[in-house]
Amino acid sequence: MNKNFSVLLFLMMISYLSAQNQRFMYEYKFVSDSTNKADIKTELMNLDTTLKGSKFYSYTSYKSDSLMRVDLEKQLKATGSINVKMDQRKGFVRYTVAKNYQNGNVDFRNRIGMDAFKVTEDRKIAWKILPNKQKIGNWETQKATTEFGGRKWTAWFCNDIPIQDGPYKFSGLPGIIVKLEDQTQSHVFNLVGIKNLGTLEPEIYAFEITKEIPLKSSEYKKLLLENRSDPAKGLRQISMDNGVVLNMNNSAETNKFMKEREERLKEQVKKDNNIIEIDLLK
């Protein structure tokens, strides 16, 4: 093979792989409490894509958890105990979504109580592609609609970026999703930027879990509903492993902490009544 042709082929391969490893940054605006629609939360989300698949996660939570982990490791090394300061933790979105382009599986990872779970799904999203077109920012887009998770959705996708992916579990359109919103506009994703990650694999999200429990979708829903009815159950079952203890001076202080924490958890659940897959709560 001609040497110059080999070099050209190599450069073309590098360019192709580089083009596939991209980060799509979405601004996610959502209403978590349907009784208070004026309270709109905003989170910066990343969709990292490669030839094999993608990972969708909260950049806000990623950075916060990374900094907190460093702090806790320092505490543990210095004192043998940890003092978790909840005000250190930023970000509203704790779940992650990984899509496998080869087999079509979607892995949803989340924590319920003190445990980490992985739900693998292979359900396809049935899109209806419409002729409507619209320019959103710098992207020429086309309209599509679907029903998913108990909601009706409208998406605008860009054919010029032929990556069949998008935010959360949404994929399957002939281009990247630029905008996605449900009918009530409680959940709105807007593409705000694209970054080429080069030939390196994107960094693994901070929520990488080593001891996760696999669940079926029906099992996850059952566990989710049980936890919402008693959100402090996991907290009461905390075991003091490896000499790591909560920084409490006496049982009275511990009881006070537990009671206050339980009330906060119940209030959080009460206000978190408008999740993205609303049919999980039915």
pLDDT along the chain (282 residues), means of 10: 42 42 96 95 95 92 54 52 51 92 95 90 95 97 98 98 97 98 98 86 49 93 93 59 45 72 85 96 94
Q: What is the pLDDT of residue 241?
A: 42
User: 88: which 2 tokens?
Assistant: 């250190």
Rounded distance between C-alpha atoms, residue 76 and residue 254, angstroms: 20
Cα 120 from chain centroid (whole Å): 14
User: 159: which 2 tokens?
Assistant: 């054919």
- Label residue 260 exposed, middle or buried (CB < 10 Å: 0-12, 13-18, 19+): exposed
Does residue 90 contact residue 41 with C-beta atoms inside 8 Å? no
Q: What is the pLDDT of residue 35?
A: 95
Q: What is the pLDDT of residue 240?
A: 39
Q: What is the pLDDT of residue 250?
A: 54
Q: How many CB atoms lie within 10 A of CB 19?
A: 14
Q: What is the pLDDT of residue 163?
A: 95
Rounded distance between C-alpha atoms, residue 268 and residue 167, angstroms: 25
Closest CA to 108 of 217, 268, 245, 222: 217
Q: What is the pLDDT of residue 264?
A: 85
Q: What is the pLDDT of residue 200?
A: 56
Q: What is the pLDDT of residue 121?
A: 95
Q: What is the pLDDT of residue 258?
A: 73
Q: What is the pLDDT of residue 72?
A: 44
Residue where the block lists tokens 């496998």: 100
Question: In the chain, where do the E strands start and end?
Answer: 22-30, 41-49, 53-58, 96-100, 106-112, 115-121, 128-136, 139-148, 151-158, 176-182, 187-196, 213-215
User: 271: which 2 tokens?
Assistant: 């206000």
| Partner residues linked to 112 by β-bridges | 115
Q: Which residues are CB-neighbours of 195 under 8 A, at least 6 positions away?
A: 22, 23, 25
Does residue 41 contact residue 50 with C-beta atoms inside 8 Å? no
Report phi then psi at 37, rounded to 5: -70, -15
Q: What is the pLDDT of residue 18?
A: 42
User: 218: which 2 tokens?
Assistant: 């029906």
Q: Is 161 left (phi over 0), alpha (psi -120 to 50) or beta?
A: beta
- Local structure of 65: helix, strand or coil: helix
Element at 262 (helix H, strand E): helix 251-271
